[in-house]
Amino acid sequence: SLENSDEFWVNDAFTSKLTRIKIQMVSGRAEAEPERKETRSRIDEDRKHEVEAAVVRVMKARKKLLHNVLVAE
């Protein structure tokens, strides 16, 4: 479990040919409502593609899988 005193660092030198990690920068200004909705829709679209890719990888490896097991995976 995590404690309030736990600290984490980003390893800027980390590279991997197999895994790509996107870390979005946070801006200091607040978003207006239309910007917030646009941002949310882009995030949802990105997540949709990530989930679909993960499902394809799992199903290629397993060939057959019950839905509950796939969701847990």
pLDDT digits (tens, 9 = 90+) for 39-58: 899 999 999 999 999 888 88
- pTM flag (> 0.85): no
- What is the structure's pLDDT at 34? 87
The DSSP secondary structure of 13-48, one letter per residue, reads T---SS-----PPPPSSPPPHHHHHHHHHHHHHHHH
pLDDT digits (tens, 9 = 90+) for 7-43: 988 888 888 888 777 777 776 677 788 888 898 999 9
- What is the structure's pLDDT at 27? 66
In this structure, which amino acid lies at residue 36? R
- Sequence-ordered list of residues with C-beta below 8 angstroms from that of 58, at least 6 positions apart, any chain: 65, 70, 73
- What is the structure's pLDDT at 16? 81
